[in-house]
Structure 1
């Protein structure tokens, strides 16, 4: 019987781009070549979307009976593209033009000129696109091969890579590959896995209003929030986006990422420290959604000593976790809710006054819900995390009966391993968590405690646990299925099953011995 060849597994976008980046190994430092690749991905992405819109527009105009001259004129009308949230891409920046020059020694200069042309025509990315492709230290032969390889990836709306946080995904993958090197150690601060972001967004439900992330990384929180609004029949303009990012290259990438999606965002005029130089001091947001860097130890500045944000206690100088929590609360509107990721240590730590701050937050009725998440959700750190939800509006929106309670959800058993090192939550997992939260928040939502998974704990119960907020302390153990089989019958049944397995094992051993004897 002919052996059927197994189909080769399809390479993921990330794997393809890692191979692309690998072409630059030895010629560029890892911290440099990821920016080389990401700039080209951006160029290819906007060019593919431009070409897709151009093709559709040409078909529309032909169907309307316009002649070739009129069609050609319309095809060069930038408003026909920008009105559809598509970048206007000048001719010398279109991918087919760049690809045609990939083998020339001037390819680096050609790419730099393409970036200049795009910035000139599109204000949303002015001053943020990567440059310096023409520098002497960048091997032009390898750069040309990189252009060829990226040219094989499609980014239209019908491609697998056309509707996602593309730049964030690729950057996260690169940081994961660099894990252990200096460039990889802060990946958690840069990019939050999609299933974690989606869980936050599905629980917060930001249908409209002001959305704020003061540690916005590549802007993935905003992308998912906008997708949520769109999925529920709204327009992306229903939410106003505000953010801040400390690292300059990451701030630029966020601007690029949001521009790709047609999301207008106020990320400030530059990158900056959210604690020392808050770029949105007067903002009071309806939703805060964030994944701040975990356990940052060098965040303190003398200017912060008597900051009005520390209403519930001055955070320890050696850990920024509760500085972030209070920064989020400070920026909430009177009806606002925040959802954010913190390391599990934030649930129980008492060092530097953290226990007192946590107690003050609970007593003030701000802590809404704590979700213990599974491990291995992040590319390059196995650190377990929790989702916190704090709300200033616990007395409204059907929430009145839940005052004096905190909902604890233990989701550590959810998720499936996508690879040996990475776990993901699927839509059913996310719905289980979000639906439980929504049922609890709405007093007529039919909420009931689920042993081993969810528990609405009172202030007295939390006080008995000394204001430690680890969900496992509250949810108890999962109820075992009832077993009505009498013990003597169970022993007889199990003994019979075991002896049958022994017999089966002996038969298999006999067959194997015969086969081996036949080989002599």
Structure 2
């Protein structure tokens, strides 16, 4: 896209956000994202409908313009007149505007089975929105031509922009529905989801799926060779995901309903070729004392502790992988070490040759936490093999006894004055390093780099009691002064102990001297 077009699109996103932000006075931010995104979806669906209607008329089939099948055959949602944006816009100044919007969304969902459970239900009326502000919002959205630039997906960009802005605004505890796009891009570049089944057990607003499809398109793949499965427990986030995917024409099976992945698995028999996930961090009391103890997903492992769901998520994903499946997922750093059941499960995962890479993500990357988190790569087939990816051949070496560690805490660029994101160049370099390490010619293309990466043999993991903390393995060197931090730290600790010992001896001599003089201390 030319710079001028990009700036124009960006201006649309920012202008619309500023207009929508005016709702803040009457609606909680956690609520009004559903208002805004519901209206954006309605405008987009209407524009697509009107475009298809014009095509039918141009083909000389005007008598069929109200027949649903002529829209469905082109993957366009059929809209009755009361569901069309022209009707909503024309009635924007009416007192019952909220009711009309609810009716429009309900009617669209009723007429299009693919949208079952996707759209807000009696949402606008229930919120009691200020009718003047709602009318102003409708007028502003009316200015967007959602089909203006099909190649660069303006409506998708607007939707993505809003998801990110809402996640930032809601912050800790409420922004879990959104994973920063650059992290999803990194995940896709690492696990390369070209074809087969993609699964996300905690899919949020569907960002993993959107970026997977974009990865395929950017690498000249065929998105028809991908099947998407996901699950989400929050009813409102479940709707966000369905709308997000519908806007982009992405077909997905998100289960029959919103449901908890542990207690109501919507895809029990699924075997996925790729898993991409950002499950909730450190969930407490995710199961009862005796609940799920005999769940088949833990077969061959200890039962994950009820005090923390991190290893429950890991084993859920391991159980869903196909024989050649690969998973990329985000977890809090606490999962890298620790004892009890987690230690036993982690040890078994390592001994079963499932863990391929552990990557520390920069701090302040996520809107819901300012801590550094970890990207795990689990691979069911780390053996030597050759696969065909589009027009290129990929030759894997045997990596069963190795794990690649990468530390990205010094990577990325600042934005919004409080967050960090990996740039496209960062992602390209990180992915290249990872894939070089995987290849049969790795000894000529890959090398351990201090403060960045280290290939670690199973024996060293065993020596460190199966800890997956990267700093235990990656060499840290001060490049400016060529100081090995590990060696220097040991020297400092030794000197400090000697100093303490000397101080203690001096105190004892002083006390003895006072006692000799007859003082009681």
TM > 0.5: yes
Instruction: Tell me the equivalent position of 2:366.
Output: 378
- The 8 Å contact of residues 13 and 158 in structure 2, kept in 1 or not, is answered as no
Q: Alignment partner for residue 208 of structure 1, among 188, 192, 195?
A: 195
- The 8 Å contact of residues 40 and 147 in structure 1, kept in 2 or not, is answered as yes
Cα deviation for residue 255 of structure 1 reads 1.4
> Could you tell me how far apart the structure 2 residues matched to 1:104 and 1:213 are?
42
Instruction: Tell me the equivalent position of 1:341.
Output: 330
- The 8 Å contact of residues 297 and 318 in structure 1, kept in 2 or not, is answered as yes
**2:125 is paired with a residue of what secondary structure?**
coil
> Could you tell me how far apart the structure 1 residues matched to 2:408 and 2:139 are?
44
Cα deviation for residue 120 of structure 1 reads 3.0
Instruction: Tell me the equivalent position of 1:113.
Output: 103
Instruction: Tell me the equivalent position of 2:267.
Output: 280
5 Å matches for 1:160-239?
A: 162=154, 164=156, 166-167=158-159, 169-179=161-171, 185-188=173-176, 190-239=177-226
Q: Alignment partner for residue 433 of structure 2, among 425, 432, 436?
A: 436
Cα deviation for residue 78 of structure 1 reads 5.4
Instruction: Tell me the equivalent position of 1:255.
Output: 242
- The 8 Å contact of residues 165 and 257 in structure 1, kept in 2 or not, is answered as no
Structure 2 CA distance for partners of 1:324 and 1:79, relative to 1, 3 Å: same
Using the size of structure 2 for normalisation, the TM-score is: 0.81
Cα deviation for residue 142 of structure 1 reads 2.2
| Per-residue CA distance 1:186-244 (angstroms, 9 max, x = gap) | 323x1111000011111111111011111011111111112222223333221111111
| Per-residue CA distance 1:382-402 (angstroms, 9 max, x = gap) | 121110001111114344432
| Per-residue CA distance 1:295-344 (angstroms, 9 max, x = gap) | 11121133212223223322221111111001100111111111101111
Cα deviation for residue 281 of structure 1 reads 1.0
Q: Alignment partner for residue 123 of structure 1, among 102, 110, 113?
A: 113
| Per-residue CA distance 1:106-143 (angstroms, 9 max, x = gap) | 21222122213322332211232113223483332222
> Could you tell me how far apart the structure 2 residues matched to 1:478 and 1:155 are?
51
> Could you tell me how far apart the structure 1 residues matched to 2:404 and 2:127 are?
58
Q: Alignment partner for residue 317 of structure 1, among 290, 306, 310?
A: 306
Instruction: Tell me the equivalent position of 2:496.
Output: none
Instruction: Tell me the equivalent position of 1:360.
Output: 348
**2:428 is paired with a residue of what secondary structure?**
helix
Cα deviation for residue 172 of structure 1 reads 4.0
Using the size of structure 1 for normalisation, the TM-score is: 0.81
Cα deviation for residue 14 of structure 1 reads 6.3
- The 8 Å contact of residues 173 and 379 in structure 1, kept in 2 or not, is answered as no
> Could you tell me how far apart the structure 2 residues matched to 1:372 and 1:394 are?
21
> Could you tell me how far apart the structure 1 residues matched to 2:47 and 2:8 are?
25
> Could you tell me how far apart the structure 2 residues matched to 1:147 and 1:320 are?
42
Instruction: Tell me the equivalent position of 1:34.
Output: 33
Q: Alignment partner for residue 424 of structure 2, among 416, 423, 427?
A: 427
Instruction: Tell me the equivalent position of 1:146.
Output: 137
Instruction: Tell me the equivalent position of 1:418.
Output: 415
> Could you tell me how far apart the structure 1 residues matched to 2:52 and 2:423 are?
32
> Could you tell me how far apart the structure 2 residues matched to 1:30 and 1:121 are?
30
Cα deviation for residue 93 of structure 1 reads 2.5
> Could you tell me how far apart the structure 1 residues matched to 2:268 and 2:438 are?
30
| Per-residue CA distance 1:339-391 (angstroms, 9 max, x = gap) | 101111111233x4322221221111110001111111122421211100011
**2:307 is paired with a residue of what secondary structure?**
coil
> Could you tell me how far apart the structure 2 residues matched to 1:165 and 1:210 are?
25
Cα deviation for residue 431 of structure 1 reads 1.0
Cα deviation for residue 167 of structure 1 reads 4.0
Structure 2 CA distance for partners of 1:52 and 1:197, relative to 1, 3 Å: farther
- The 8 Å contact of residues 154 and 161 in structure 1, kept in 2 or not, is answered as no
**1:407 is paired with a residue of what secondary structure?**
strand
Cα deviation for residue 12 of structure 1 reads 6.1
**1:336 is paired with a residue of what secondary structure?**
strand
**1:127 is paired with a residue of what secondary structure?**
coil
Instruction: Tell me the equivalent position of 2:458.
Output: 459
Which shifted more, 358-367 or 116-125? Answer: 116-125
How many correspondences in the alignment?
461
- The 8 Å contact of residues 124 and 255 in structure 1, kept in 2 or not, is answered as no
> Could you tell me how far apart the structure 2 residues matched to 1:475 and 1:12 are?
44
Which shifted more, 456-465 or 130-139? Answer: 130-139
Cα deviation for residue 293 of structure 1 reads 0.4
> Could you tell me how far apart the structure 2 residues matched to 1:437 and 1:332 are?
21
- The 8 Å contact of residues 20 and 150 in structure 1, kept in 2 or not, is answered as no
